[in-house]
Structure 1
Amino acid sequence: MILLVALLGPGSVRAETAKALPRISIEKTSHNFGQIFSGEKASHVFSFSNSGGAPLVIEKVRHSCGCTATVLSSTTLAPGATGQLQSTFSSTGFFDEVVKTIYLYSNDPDHPVVQLHLRGVVQQEIVTRPNRVSLDKMIPEKTVTSQIKLVHNGKNNISFGPVQTTTAELKAELSSTGLSPGGSATVTLAVTPQPGKRRFGGFVIIPLHGAHAKEIRIPVYASVAVSPSSQTPPSQP
């Protein structure tokens, strides 16, 4: 070995050693899926290769919330071999710009973790205006009404299922059984808080048929004033 170093020089030995190591190479580490509606899925296959001189081992794959990733090829790649990773983003519950990250772990000593990215814009097929309702200083057992507008931004006709609420203190009615593209409808809410509560919270749930999303969930919040009858009178001396 000493003779080999003397003949080749330390630089040559380092170069030969580097060639004998696994090297992960990825031409494109980011994919933009463009614009999709909430409820749709966006998929992409990332390709990678072993540009080193030793077997490349994919040790594990991690991903951020809303995303899945699966290695389609063998997890051990010989020098010069290529592999593929299938990634899928489920947009349910996401809105606006999103970036999802996939972490690819391997035995590459210089790049043990490689980050891959799925990015794009998630749009609402049915836009709610406002997207939540907040009421202030409500009186117990006194009903307050509010309205929400639904606007159809998609391309297909959508029908509504029976509107639901998560609490008996919240009632909701729809002005229409469905919407065509560009159409709008109104949700009328009626909130009647019960005594003994300082805060109210619930959801209006509208099932969707013909849409990418399964339902619309609209949060409703309120602060409740303390009624005189619920206040404890001061103790007598």
Structure 2
Amino acid sequence: MQIKRVWAGLLLVGLFSGLALAQEPRLWAESTDFRFGEIYQGQQLEHAFRLENTGNEPLLIEKIRSSCGCTAALLSDYQIEPGQSAQLRVTFDSTRFRGPVVKTVYVYTNDPLHRVAQFYLRGQVTPELVLEPAKADLGSLEPGAVGEVAIVIGNVGPQNIAIQEVQTDLQDVQATLSSKLLQAGGSVTLHITATAGEEGAVKRKGYVVMSTDSPYSPVVKVPVSFSVTGVAQP
């Protein structure tokens, strides 16, 4: 009889312990890794992860943090009841990136097994416009001399692009285009001309700025630099 009572007590303790362990929130996501393939630089990417609470207690999202300011995350509900779900909407701004990228969103919860869950955006960012060379370096010019650089602008995107305006912030630099219509898969040539002033040993730096009708590349900046050396001849 004593042995039976001991076993019965152990069974009850085990049962209540199991119930206590089962009373926990549990974060579950069908996918934590979104591979978006290839997008054009400047494109905004959006994706929604589905979060579900498969536990028996409310799942509390304590905070959300992203790996950089280019990635924003918004949760539809910060308290997810058992059996319910919420949407984690993530937006990635690719303006400052090119090449392979991996962006991470950290979700902090009260799930003892997933205190910090990580969600990933992975893919390739491709510039819509490719410049060759990427900058105009006219080197050293004597006072009064003229330097010129030709830059080929290629459109690797699927749409034609109209270049609406070309400006420069250097008074002694001029820029002209072979055409203001940049067809998909085609290219135009940007001619940059600099006339050196009379000053000696002066470094000049600035930009040629082009505005376009592309939503991904509305502004294109070409760095321009040259130096003036020597003394102007009388």
Q: Residues 18 and 200 of structure 1: is their aligned pair in 2 closer, same or farther, counting only changes over 3 Å?
A: farther
Q: Which amino acid aligns with 1:20?
A: Q
Aligned to 1:219: 223
Q: Residues 83 and 188 of structure 1: is their aligned pair in 2 closer, same or farther, counting only changes over 3 Å?
A: same
Structure 2: state its 5+ residue gaps: 1-5
CA contact (8 A) 1:156 1:211 kept: no
**TM-score, scaled to structure 2:** 0.82
Deviation string for 1:115-152 (max 9, x for gaps)?
21111112222211122233434445543211100112
Q: Residues 12 and 210 of structure 1: is their aligned pair in 2 closer, same or farther, counting only changes over 3 Å?
A: same
Give the superposed CA RMSD: 2.9
Deviation, structure 1 residue 193? 5.4
Aligned to 2:31: 28
Deviation, structure 1 residue 58? 1.1
Aligned to 1:85: 88
1:111 aligns with 2:114: yes
Larger Rg: 2
Q: Residues 13 and 190 of structure 1: is their aligned pair in 2 closer, same or farther, counting only changes over 3 Å?
A: farther
162, 165, 170: which one pairs with 2:168? 165
Distance across 2 between alignment mates of 1:197 and 1:30:
54
Q: Residues 87 and 140 of structure 1: is their aligned pair in 2 closer, same or farther, counting only changes over 3 Å?
A: farther
Structure 1: state its 5+ residue gaps: 230-237
CA contact (8 A) 1:193 1:200 kept: no
Distance across 2 between alignment mates of 1:139 and 1:18:
82
Distance across 1 between alignment mates of 2:230 and 2:12:
89
Deviation string for 1:131-179 (max 9, x for gaps)?
2233434445543211100112122221111101233243211111112
Q: How many residues align?
A: 225
Aligned to 1:235: none
Q: Which amino acid aligns with 1:164?
A: Q
Q: Residues 78 and 148 of structure 1: is their aligned pair in 2 closer, same or farther, counting only changes over 3 Å?
A: same
Distance across 1 between alignment mates of 2:144 and 2:118:
55
1:207 aligns with 2:221: no
CA contact (8 A) 2:201 2:230 kept: no
Q: Residues 65 and 170 of structure 1: is their aligned pair in 2 closer, same or farther, counting only changes over 3 Å?
A: farther
Aligned to 1:71: 75
177, 182, 187: which one pairs with 2:180? 177
Aligned to 1:37: 40
Distance across 2 between alignment mates of 1:89 and 1:128:
24
Deviation string for 1:18-48 (max 9, x for gaps)?
3222222222111111112222222111011
Q: Residues 57 and 218 of structure 1: is their aligned pair in 2 closer, same or farther, counting only changes over 3 Å?
A: same
1:98 aligns with 2:101: yes
Distance across 2 between alignment mates of 1:70 and 1:136:
49
41, 47, 56: which one pairs with 2:59? 56
CA contact (8 A) 2:141 2:229 kept: no
CA contact (8 A) 1:163 1:173 kept: yes
CA contact (8 A) 1:125 1:211 kept: no
Deviation, structure 1 residue 84? 1.0
**TM-score, scaled to structure 1:** 0.81
Q: Residues 138 and 117 of structure 1: is their aligned pair in 2 closer, same or farther, counting only changes over 3 Å?
A: farther
Q: Which amino acid aligns with 1:56?
A: L
Distance across 1 between alignment mates of 2:144 and 2:14:
84
Deviation, structure 1 residue 228? 5.8
Distance across 1 between alignment mates of 2:126 and 2:185:
15
Q: Residues 221 and 10 of structure 1: is their aligned pair in 2 closer, same or farther, counting only changes over 3 Å?
A: farther
